[in-house]
Every structure is written in C-alpha cells, then in structure tokens.
C-alpha cells in the first residue's frame, strides 16, 4: 500500500511537471530534446493503473 501511494504521488508530480514543460513555447534555435508530452502521457497511464491497483488493494473488485 505504501509503495503504491508513493508511486502514485511521484507519477502525479512527474506528470504535472512534464505537462508544464510541454506547454512551454518552443524556441527554434534551442530544440527540445526531451519529449515532455509523451512523458506526461506515460505518467498519466501509470496514474490510471496505480489507481486501479489501489482500488483492488482496498477491496473494490469488479462484480462477476
């Protein structure tokens, strides 16, 4: 549970930072070497998976 919550917090911070960096205007003379929008997308997918895992840990299982 602690690992899931810490990874969730870290991925939220990374996603927020990458979203902020990806929204900066680009400079033609200084190319962007880090794909910030793709990193934001990966962090968002990880947040989604970690929320599902957290729900499973708390006992919210799908009904069959």
pLDDT in the model for residue 38: 96
Task: Report d(CA 24, CA 16) in Å as an integer.
Answer: 13
pLDDT higher at 22 or 63: 22
Task: Report d(CA 44, CA 38) in Å as an integer.
Answer: 10
Task: Report d(CA 64, CA 57) in Å as an integer.
Answer: 18
pTM of the predicted protein model: 0.84
Whether pLDDT at 48 is above 90: yes
Quick one: average pLDDT of 24-47?
Answer: 91
Task: Report d(CA 26, CA 50) in Å as an integer.
Answer: 32
Whether pLDDT at 63 is above 80: no
Q: Mean pLDDT, the chain, as a whole number?
A: 92
């Amino acid at each position: 549970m602690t690992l899931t919550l810490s990874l969730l917090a870290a991925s939220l911070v990374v996603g927020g930072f990458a979203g902020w960096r990806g929204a900066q205007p680009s400079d033609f003379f200084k190319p962007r070497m880090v794909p910030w929008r793709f990193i934001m997308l990966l962090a968002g997918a990880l947040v989604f998976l970690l929320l599902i895992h957290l729900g499973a840990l708390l006992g919210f299982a799908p009904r069959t």
